[in-house]
Amino acid sequence: MKILFIATKAADKQGDLLEVSLLHGLRTVLGDDCVDYPRKKVMYHDFSDTPKDTLHGRGFSLLTTPIQDIKNRDIFNQKFDYVIYGDGHMYGEDPNIECIDELSDGNVWIIDGHDLYGDAPHKIIHEGEEIIGTQFTNCFKRELVETNDDSVYPTGFGIPEDRIREVDFSIKDQLYQKTAPAHSLFNYANDMGGGFSHHKFTVEEEYYNDLSRSWFGLTCKKGGWDCLRHYEIIAAGSLLLFRDYDKKPPLCSPQELPCFSYSTKKELHNLMSSLVVEGKPTTEYLDMVDKQREWLYNNGTTIARAKKIIKVLNK
């Protein structure tokens, strides 16, 4: 299979996490048979147009290691099985360019990384609130709520496999991570639509070390249900606890994630108290850690996300 991936052009939008996640996975799985156009410089550690520390999440996890470059970028002298447009449409870029679409004989798909809230042409009412709905057919969508179109498939963020650490219980000396979102702790949150108030680390390994030494990684819905934080918590060897996960629409990412869901301060306290007793993990804690890490390898790595897209295209 040969894929032409149309990357976002705007220099200040290069940190789009869904686009980077899926392109990372497709390039890893397909090698030179996945061509990013225009060349997505930040993924090759060329930050000349976009400084790394200006990217969402400072480029942690997804841009730790550069990917291998492509030998042949002369796309107009090649044929592709599919063209996949990234998230440029979210930033005013055209998701259908005729001379590009012709390179795959019109076999065109679109990535949709919209959050639930914000600006988009098509909105719907879901459970009494206005949210962003499905924008396209032939689409892979992260925050998928509508299920009435069989050409729209769920997808989500992923994390590179090399970011997954061994679990080390001997270093755990704090209950939860320093970067826990305010909403996950039932505190006032002013960044539910996305923000940087909980980004307390400027060095990636220090961020991961804080997660690794935490018994629990707390997380929650913000602008959408999906967040790279979920994957980083599990990858670092902490047990993810997810506020209100049981209220998540089934096809919104992360799909079918094994986890403990909590909705009140009391439930959170009771969970943590029952899962770690006198500084030691219980059998229930250990079982859930194993399930979450198995889920991460099978569903939540960039490679796993790419393989699911390839499976859909092959059908």
Mean of pLDDT values over 18-40: 98
Mean pLDDT (whole number) for 55-82? 95
**Residue 141 CB coordination number (10 Å):** 27
Whether 146 has a pLDDT exceeding 90, the answer reads no
State the average pLDDT over residues 58-66: 96
Helix (H) or strand (E) holding 205: helix 204-212
Per-residue pLDDT of 180-216, as tens digits, reads 999 999 998 775 555 454 567 999 999 999 999 999 9
The pairing of beta strand 280-281 with beta strand 276-277: antiparallel
* 81-96 mean pLDDT: 97
**Best CA proximity match to 131, nearest among 144, 149, 147:** 144
Hey, which bits of 244-292 come out as E strands? Answer: 260-262, 276-277, 280-281
pTM score of the predicted model: 0.95
CA distance 209 to 177: 10
Angle between helices 228-235 and 204-212 (to 10 degrees): 70
Q: Which tokens go with 159?
A: 């994390």
pLDDT at 129: 95
Question: Is the separation of the CB atoms in 3 and 27 below 8 Å?
Answer: no
pLDDT of residue 191: 58
Residue 27, pLDDT above cutoff 70:
yes
Q: Please give the residue that has the higher pLDDT: either 57 or 255.
A: 255
Distance CA(242)–CA(258), nearest Å, equals 10
Question: What's the pLDDT at 199?
Answer: 65
Question: pLDDT band at residue 122, thresholds of 50, 70 and 90?
Answer: very high
